[in-house]
Chains A and B, each alone.
Chain A
Amino acid sequence: MYQYDTLDQTIINERVAEFRDQTRRFLNGQLSEDQFRPLRLMNGLYIQRYAPMLRIDVPYGLMSSTQMRKLAQISRDYDKNYAHVTTRQNFQLNWPKLERVPDLLDELSSVQMHAIQSSGNCIRNTTSDPFAGVAEDEIEDPRIFCEIIRQWSTLHPEFMYLPRKFKIAVSGSERDRAATKVHDIGLRVVKNSQGETGFEVLVGGGLGRTPVIGQMIRPYLEKQHLLSYLEAILRVYNLYGRRDNKYKARIKILVRETGIDTFRQQVEEEWLHIKGDLLLTDAMVNRVAKRFSTPDYESNLTVDEQALETHKTEHSAFKTWMEHNTLPHKQSGYRIVIVSLKAPGIAPGDINDQQMELVADLADQYSYGELRTTHRQNLVLADVKQNDLFAVWQQLDTQQLATPNYSTTNDMICCPGLDFCSLANASSITITKQLFELLDDMDYVYDLGDIKLNMSGCMNGCGHHSVGHIGILGVDKKGEEWYQITLGGSSENDARLGDRLGPAIAKDEVVNSISTILDTYLQQRASNEESFLDTVKRTGIQPFKENVYAV
Chain B
Amino acid sequence: MLFKNGEITNNQWIHLTTEEIPEKGCVTLPMQRWLDEQDQMTARGLPSGVRLSPDCDFTQINTHLDNLDLIVIEFPVLADGRVFSFSKLLRRQGYQGEIRAIGNFVTDQMFYMQKVGVDSFELPDDIPTQDIEDTLNRFSVSYQ
Contacts and interface: CB of A to CB of B under 8 A. Distances in A.
Interface of A: 7, 10-11, 14-15, 17-18, 21-22, 25, 30-31, 35, 38-39, 121, 151-152, 154-163, 235, 238-239, 243, 273
A161 B140 contact: no
B92 A158 contact: no
Contacts of A239: 82, 85
A161 B142 contact: no
A152 B78 contact: no
B140 A155 contact: no
Contacts of B78: 35, 38, 161
Given A14-B140, A161-B109, 11 more contacts: A10-B141, A25-B131, A31-B106, A121-B79, A152-B144, A155-B112, A155-B143, A156-B144, A157-B115, A158-B88, A161-B81
B7 interface: no
A74 to B, nearest CB: 25
- Highest count of chain A CB atoms <10 Å: which of B139, B140, B143: B143
Given A121-B79, A155-B112, A235 B85 contact: yes
B37 interface: no
A68 B135 CA distance: 32
B116 interface: yes
A537 B140 CA distance: 55
Contacts of A151: 143
B66 interface: no
A158 B141 contact: no
Q: Nearest 7 CB-CB pairs, A to B?
A: A161-B81, A157-B115, A157-B112, A151-B143, A158-B84, A238-B85, A14-B139
Contact of A243 (B80, B92, B106, B139): B80
Nearest to A278: B144
Contacts of A17: 138
Instruction: Place the interface of chain B in its size category.
Output: 20 to 34
B106 A238 contact: no
Interface in B115-144: 115-116, 131, 134-135, 138-144
A14 B137 CA distance: 10
B1 to A, nearest CB: 16
B139 A155 contact: yes
Interface of B: 54, 78-82, 84-85, 88, 92, 106, 108-109, 111-113, 115-116, 131, 134-135, 138-144
B84 A238 contact: yes
A25 to B, nearest CB: 7
Given A21-B134, A238-B82, A157 B116 contact: yes
A161 B144 contact: no
Given A18-B138, A31-B106, A160-B112, A38 B79 contact: yes
Given A25-B131, A31-B106, A273-B92, A154 B82 contact: no
A7 B144 contact: no
Contacts of B113: 157
- Residue from B82, B108, B116 whose CB has the most chain A CB atoms within 10 Å: B108
Contacts of B82: 238-239, 243
B85 A158 contact: yes
8 contacts: A14-B139, A14-B140, A39-B108, A152-B144, A155-B143, A161-B79, A235-B88, A238-B81
Given A35-B106, A162-B81, A238-B84, A157 B139 contact: no
Contacts of A21: 134
